[in-house]
Structure 1
Amino acid sequence: MTYGFDTLQVHAGARPDPATGARQTPIYQTTAYVFRDADHAAALFNLQEVGYIYSRLTNPTVAVLAERVATLEGGQGAVCCSSGHAAQIMALFPLMGPGCNVVASSRLYGGTITQFSQTIKRFGWSAKFVDFDDLDAVAAAIDDNTRAVFCESIANPGGYITDLDAIAGVADKAGLPLIVDNTSATPYLCRPIEHGATLVVHSATKYLTGNGTVTGGVIVDSGKFDWTASGKFPSLSEPEPAYHGLKFHETFGPLSFTFHSIAIGLRDLGMTMNPQAAHYTLMGIETLSLRMERHVVNAIKVAEWLETHPAVAEVTYAGLKSSRYADRVPRICPKGAGGLFTFRLKAGYDACVKLVNALDLFSHVANLGDTRSLVIHSASTTHRQLTPEQQTAAGAGPDVVRVSIGIEDADDLIADLDQALKQAAG
């Protein structure tokens, strides 16, 4: 039987606990698991049998979350890890090697730009940042050492919507996997695999959990990419010495990336999600559709009001009719353009700082996707490490304020913005 999204967000991956009958998924707060006998232990370690060995690799609570997110995204499997940043490294880990590069959108979260432009150099990897609205530039950036194409479905901070179908076409032509960060959209608003994505990554810290209590990440594997076709992905196509020459793609087929990420990625990188974080995220996902609907309704109302304010130079929300991305909403995000966007103040940097300081109902935090409305001046915080040119390219220039619209009464949010804008102009 085929179930709808609202049913799957509550039930996917979960069954009543067989030991106690508990209806909510228990927190399995354990490090290790007892083997039936020596043969059972050997089969688990040889990847001949699926089961639990050690919670750095797999845990029953975390496994329910992985299955639920994979189901909601329409993927074959998923791996949960310790943060959204961990999910990005985990997604690249089986694909990359020294001298390899990833072609990435210039419109990314500032921390991702720093991770890709600076930190991954320590692995011998590199990134090329391109405007993903320019398909010819994306294609031109791909070379023989490129191993992945990376973008966000709804880009943080500006709320720009990527034309995933077009980007997937460029990646497919080059024989490369497309990795899509779907944090800002969630699978309720956008399902990147249906638009050609190979892998989908999430910061579960944001909308999936939805209440600012968890740090976590998820990688969803579409199961649709042929890792053996080009010879560029030996970790998945060639014999693995640590498992007596086992070939992941040959052995596990559409689940090869998922099994590799657990058996090698989590084993050796240790970027593990703890079971309590998985439990909180599962509870958050149960109301995902309800929250996202309210985020969208509120974001439209607030963005339309801001667009008419004399102190505001521009509002980037793709849900506005005036947005140059408005035509992408019905195709890529048919249920709405999310709750994240920016606006520019005519008075510049200092006015942005005054605005943030004057807001009362909005919380000034380095987060998004909370039930509470959040605000930040990206140029002085999340994108502070970037050059002015990078900040502008990412949509986080000095005159830009980012808001994550929550599920409060929209009129109250507008009133708070109104009084803060008056103080900023004062």
Structure 2
Amino acid sequence: MSGGSTDRGFTTRQVHDGDRAHGGSPRVTPIYLTAGFSFDEYEQATAHFGAGDGFAYTRTGNPTVSSAESALASLEGGSGALLLASGQAATTVAVLSLAGAGDHIVSSRHIYEGTRGLFLDNLSRLGIEVDFVDDIRDPAAWAAAIRPETRLLFAESISNATNRLIDVAAISRVGRERGIPLVIDNTFATPYLFRPIEHGADVVVHSASKFLAGQGAVLGGAIVDSGRFDPIASGALFPHLVAPGRRGAPSIADRVGGNARLAYARESVAPRLGPTPSPLNAFLIAQGIETLSLRVDRQSANALAVARWLEKQPGIAAVDYVGLPSHPDHELATEILPRGFGSVFTITLAGDESTARRFVEALEVFTHMTHLGDVRSLVLHPGTTSHLQLSEEEQAAVGVFPGTLRLSIGIEDASDLIADLATALAASGAAVGGPLSSAHAQVTV
């Protein structure tokens, strides 16, 4: 699915570039809630299965899904997009389109725990190994981790949960010199704040359940490809993209050129593993995309106001928000995130888990739940939820302590959010300069 006109503004494209991409008279793309599509002519079936023309079965394509894909490709500046059932499905399909048994991944240490578990627990059973980079800002550290079997580099544009950044341009050059693609999870930043492909990334993945949908009602994921697959530089690493097909058919690279990675994901990996998105979910994600910039603008502004207030409060040991000068990656953030610094970050109370419990239970405007990117402000205690399976040392290595809480800031009035946090802070009994302050500083600075 090709992107729309890139000479229009971001907000104009997010409203217009998906809904008319596939014809028809409705102003809003209808929900094609059907398992399959009838063929008007006998030859039409052959054309679909031979050349991929038209639609036949929702597992391989659907007009509502395609409309959302077109909008996403346009906003990320990619050559095409693939919508899937969840963000986890998007990461899995993207990785399995590049790596197989005997291959290797180099990943940032600072990633979503679901992705970390996928790499360590699931892909290892398929013979795919992973090494994690600790000093993620250092291109030499990434280069040192690469092996002859390495098939992709993986990182997040704004990390979960302590807002660590990488220099996408520098790390992508490390991979490009070796024919290895850089895959970026852009969920936290969204294409409104940051477009990794413009900085050299090759593949972008999203949990569309979060900011893209915005309303917290549906699940979805997406892969966006740069369209820059180079069979000369990378063909030896990815023979499945350059080798002839069955019965002497042209290779995927011969058929679609630079779009070979996405075509393989669409034709071979996604339909066979089956993480098909519901057309209803695709419709709601596309509707959310139409207001993405408005929501993210508001959420980022709210987050900056909240983070600045929190940093000044007694009882707060640390605020890990990249929009604050105290964050180790703030200088890079001012260069690559001119529209805002995002709205998901962690705070660490000067106390222990019981302090965090009292804080969470006192909140009334914030919702306690496992989600982020919602229009509502959310809170979660990573140490007893998302990062529960990590040892104390592993948690500390990624900036998670007993008093750490993840905040996802919504679109409410900032004054109400601050008042809610002030009430919770008083109820928590957090002490000034608690025992976690120095430990946190040693890990994150």
Match of 1:70 in 2: 73
Provide the residue aligned with 2:433 in structure 1.
Answer: none
> Structure 1 counterpart of 2:243, which letter?
E
Question: Shift in Å at residue 16 of structure 1?
Answer: 8.5
Aligned residues of 1:16 and 1:24 also touching (Cα < 8 A): no
Describe how 1:274-353 pairs up with structure 2 within 5 A. 274-353=278-357
Deviates more, 1:134-143 or 1:98-107: 134-143
Q: Write out per-residue CA displacement over residues 365-396 of structure 1, whole angstroms, 9 at most, x where no aligned residue.
A: 11000000000011110111222232222332
Residue 40 of structure 1 deviates from its aligned partner by 2.1
| Structure 1 residues 90-111: Cα deviation after superposition (integer angstroms, max 9, x where no partner) | 1011211111111111111111
Q: Is the 8 A contact 2:210 2:373 kept in 1?
A: yes
Counterpart of 1:5 in structure 2 is 10
8 A Cα contact 2:228 2:259, kept in partner: no
Q: 2:422 aligns with which of 402, 418, 422?
A: 418
1:226 counterpart = 2:223: no
Q: Using the TM superposition, give the Cα deviation of residue 228 of structure 1 relative to its aligned residue in structure 2, in angstroms.
A: 4.6
Deviation at 1:174, TM superposition (A): 2.5
Cα distance per residue 1:178-229 (max 9 Å; x no partner): 0000000000000000111000000000000011011100000100121453
Give the SS at the match of 1:99: coil
* Equivalent residues in 2 for 1:23-422, closer than 5 Å: 23-46=27-50, 48-131=51-134, 132-230=136-234, 231-241=236-246, 245-422=249-426
Aligned Cα RMSD in Å? 1.6
> CA–CA distance in 2 between the matches of 1:180 and 1:303?
25
Equivalent-residue separation in structure 2 for 1:334 and 1:17 (angstroms): 34
Q: CA deviation at 1:156?
A: 1.2
Instruction: Name the CA distance, whole Å, in 2 between partners of 1:49 and 1:366.
Output: 39
Quote how far apart the aligned CAs of 1:240 are: 2.9
Q: Which runs of 5+ in 2 are unaligned?
A: 431-445
Partner deviation per Cα, 1:238-281 (whole Å, 9 max, x = no partner): 1233x753310111012222221121122211111110001101
Q: Determine if contact 2:18/2:286 at 8 Å carries over to the other structure.
A: no
CA–CA distance in structure 1, aligned partners of residues 357 and 232 of structure 2: 51
Are the equivalent residues in 1 in contact too, given 2:178–2:233 (CA < 8 A)? no
- TM-score with structure 1 length normalisation? 0.96
Identical aligned pairs, as a percentage?
Answer: 44
Out of 69-78 and 387-396, give the one that drifted further: 387-396
What amino acid does structure 2 have at the position aligned with 1:37?
Answer: E
How far off its partner does 1:130 sit? 1.0
User: Any unmatched runs of 5+ in structure 1?
Assistant: none
Q: Would you say the 8 A contact 2:204–2:224 is kept in 1?
A: yes
Report the residue type matching 1:167 in the other structure: I
Equivalent-residue separation in structure 1 for 2:82 and 2:243 (angstroms): 22
After superposition, the Cα gap between the structure-2 partners of 1:18 and 1:199, relative to the gap in structure 1 and judged at 3 Å, is: closer
On the 8 A contact 1:87/1:219 being kept in 2, the answer is yes
Give the length in aligned residue pairs.
423
CA distance in 2 between partners of 1:369 and 1:409 (Å) = 16
Contact 2:161–2:406 (CA under 8 A) maintained in structure 1: yes
Residues 109, 133 of structure 2: 8 Å contact kept? yes
**Paired letter, 1:89:** T
Give the CA deviation at 1:18.
4.9
CA distance in 1 between partners of 2:21 and 2:95 (Å): 35
Q: d(CA) in 2 for partners of 1:201 and 1:281? A: 15
| Cα drift, residue 85 of structure 1 | 0.4
Q: Once structures 1 and 2 are overlaid, which stretch shifts more, 93-102 or 208-217? A: 93-102
State which drifts further: 9-18 or 273-282: 9-18
Instruction: State the shift of 1:12 in Å.
Output: 0.6
Distance in 1, matches of 2:363 and 2:41, equals 61
**Quick check: 2:229–2:257 contact (8 Å CA) kept in 1?**
no
Greater mean alpha carbon deviation, residues 345-354 or residues 407-416: 345-354
Partner SS state of residue 107, structure 1: coil
Name the aligned partner's letter for residue 124 of structure 2.
K
Distance 2:56 2:240 in 1: 23
Helix, strand or coil for the counterpart of 2:114? Answer: helix
Whether the aligned pair in 2 keeps the contact of 1:107 and 1:395 (CA below 8 Å) is no
Residue deviations 1:7-61 (CA, integer Å, cap 9, x gap): 1000113218855x21111000011112232322122112x24311210010000
Distance in 1 of aligned mates of 2:342 and 2:324: 11
What residue identity is the alignment partner of 2:424? A
